[in-house]
Structure 1
Amino acid sequence: MIIVFDECGQGAAEYILLFGGVIVIAIATLLIYTEYIKTTNPLNVAKDLNSVRESVNSG
């Protein structure tokens, strides 16, 4: 009895597992560091926008 190993889809399956793992790690990282990003972010869009408008209007 001859056993034939068909490995046509193996590469695609490995890439799917690899990208799935990367996505899971990225989501876990975002969930862990959400509060850190919210509390330490020095950017204030409204303040920065007003600053740019004032500098453009003043010439």
Structure 2
Amino acid sequence: MLDNKGQTSAEFILLIGGIIVVVLLTLMFYRNYITGLSGEIKGEEVSNFNNKLDSLSKYFT
């Protein structure tokens, strides 16, 4: 009976460890995604879009 408790504890620890690894990999991927996205946000297309919105604002104020 003691062996069963030990095996259950070991399996639980392995399960938690696996979940932690998956979470860490997901966070690393998400960080790379956000870093790549920041370069696009600073792009010229966004500036042009903002300028066009500013030119349209005179019609709505």
Residue identity opposite 1:20 in structure 2 = R
C-alpha change, 1:48 and 1:10, in structure 2 (3 Å) is same
Q: Which amino acid aligns with 2:21?
A: Q
- Alpha-carbon separation, structure 1, partners of 2:46 and 2:59: 18
How high is the TM-score relative to the length of structure 1? Answer: 0.51
Paired residue for 1:29, among 13, 24, 40?
A: 40
TM-score by length of 2: 0.50
- Aligned residues between the structures: 44
Structure 1 segments, 4+ long, off by >6 Å, are none
Q: Which of the two has greater helix per residue?
A: 2
Gaps of 5+ in 1: 51-59
Q: CA RMSD in A?
A: 2.5
Aligned partners of 1:17 and 1:46: how far apart in 2?
40
**Which amino acid is 1:17 matched to?**
M
What CA distance in whole angstroms lies between the structure 2 residues aligned with 1:28 and 1:37?
Answer: 11
Task: Give aligned-pair identity as a percent.
Answer: 9
